[in-house]
Amino acid sequence: MPDTERRADRLPGNRYGNRPTMKDVAARAGVGLKTVSRVVNGEPGVTPETERRVQEAIDALGFRRNDSARVLRKGRTASIGLVLEDLADPFYGPLSRAVEEVARAHGALLINGSSAEDPEREQELVLALCARRVDGLVVIPAGDDHRYLEPELKAGVATVFVDRPAGQIDADCVVSDNYGGARDGVAHLIAHGHRRIGFIGDMPRIHTAAERLRGYRAAMEDAGIPVEDSWMSLGVTDPERVRRAAEEMLSGPAPVTAVFAGNNRVTVTVVRVLAEQTRPVALVGFDDIELADLLRPGVTVVAQDAATIGRTAADRLFRQLDGTLLTPERIELPTRLITRGSGELPPAD
């Protein structure tokens, strides 16, 4: 085979071919373009026999409708963006699925992305989704300044913030009662006799971490218990940092007898640390964790309903798109204390 022919075989056009068009479908079915358009878009005015021929041609050619033209006509892409903190965090699994189910019910496609808790990456991702003309956004914010979104909001991009409120703009948000949930969890430990209670949380600039710390402090104050600085540790939630914080709280002449873990990642590491202790230490975690009920003792948690959070946010988003919502609101959903044993252990001393 000549070299020129071998090179031609490797050209992308020869390898992948061209996508079939409505003109190709019309030629194969022996009908006009308008007839194909009516079948593709589910419009009336086509006989069953003609519709059958057109559908057979579509199937044979592998034709797919080009939605770009519909976007130009209708001004909608039938797509929404979901910006998460971390796709690997189990909390976001049911939340993402709930958003997707609502989007699907409205005939919209969901596009996911992760900010990795980086404000710059969040902004980059959000604006990239806006550049692709998504109709709306559900955002778990990593930053605390969202004024970069003001032009998009004015242009009509529906936006709902989830888990944490937006910073420096007025926008819808759906959050859990982080303060009340943490307060209840720590009060539960106090009710079981604990006075030296440690708190290990996420970075203090994060809204949820700050609110849960506030709830911890309020429960201790309600009980008249002074809080020592050594009982509180906030920072990144990687296992090494959390392990170090827990081990420091559990050592010394007056160690804590109970720990309140500020999120699911912290709880998992604390469970591992407590398994190495020779004395029982009580534990309550914020967020449920997988297999929490199978551990011995089971892990007592303050649970959020991630699916309800996602569903509420998505419903709110599509109500914005339908034009039925005008004033931004903050929706705060309750948490639930689930007792399984670890939070009911009495102090060892």
Residues 153 and 231 in one domain: no
Question: Quick check: is 11 in a domain?
Answer: no
In a domain, 2, yes or no: no
**Which domain CATH number covers 194?**
3.40.50.2300
In this prediction, residue 37 carries a pLDDT of: 85
Query: What average pLDDT does the chain have?
Result: 90
Question: In this predicted model, what pLDDT tens digit does every residue of 297-327 receive, in sequence order?
Answer: 999 999 999 999 999 999 999 999 998 877 8
Domain region containing 32: 22-65
- Examine the domain organization and report whether 246 and 161 are in the same domain: no
pLDDT of residue 76: 65
Residues 209, 144: one domain?
no
Highest mean pLDDT among 3-12, 13-22, 62-71, 258-267: 258-267
pTM of the model: 0.80
Q: Kindly state whether residues 52 and 123 are assigned to the same domain.
A: no
16 belongs to a structural domain: no
Specify whether 42 is located in the same domain as 109.
no
- Find the range with the poorest average confidence among 1-5, 125-129, 148-152, 262-266: 1-5
Q: Tell me: do 83 and 133 sit in the same domain.
A: yes
Assign 8 a pLDDT band (cuts: 50, 70, 90).
very low
Please check whether residue 284 lies inside any domain of the structure.
yes
User: Between residues 74 and 170, which one has the greater pLDDT?
Assistant: 170
In a domain, 256, yes or no: yes
Quick one: three-class SS letters along the chain? CCHHHHHHHCCHHHHHCCCCCHHHHHHHHCCCHHHHHHHHCCCCCCCHHHHHHHHHHHHHHCCCCCHHHHHHHHCCCCEEEEEECCCCCCCHHHHHHHHHHHHHHCCCEEEEEECCCCHHHHHHHHHHHHHCCCCEEEECCCCCCCHHHHHHHHCCCEEEEECCCCCCCCCEEEEECHHHHHHHHHHHHHHCCCCCEEEEECCCCCHHHHHHHHHHHHHHHHCCCCCCHHHEEECCCCHHHHHHHHHHHCCCCCCCCEEEECCHHHHHHHHHHHHCCCCCCEEEEECCCCCCCCCCCECEEEECCHHHHHHHHHHHHHHHHCCCCCCCCEEEECCEEECCEHHHCCCCC
Residues 188 and 290 in one domain: yes
The domain total for the chain is 3
Q: Does one domain contain both 164 and 119?
A: yes
Which domain-ending residue is among 264, 284, 304?
A: 304
- The verdict on residue 5 lying in a domain is no
pLDDT digits (tens, 9 = 90+) for 35-50: 988 888 888 989 999 9
- 310, part of any domain: yes
Residues 169 and 249 in one domain: no
Residues 46 and 124 placed together within one structural domain of the fold: no
Q: What pLDDT shows up at residue 2?
A: 46
pLDDT of residue 109: 93
The predicted structure's pLDDT at residue 145: 95
What CATH number did the domain enclosing 27 receive? 1.10.260.40
The answer to whether residue 6 is domain-embedded is no
Q: Is the pLDDT of residue 68 over 80?
A: no
Q: Please tell me whether residues 269 and 182 are part of one structural domain.
A: yes
- pLDDT of 70-85, one tens digit each? 554 455 678 999 999 8
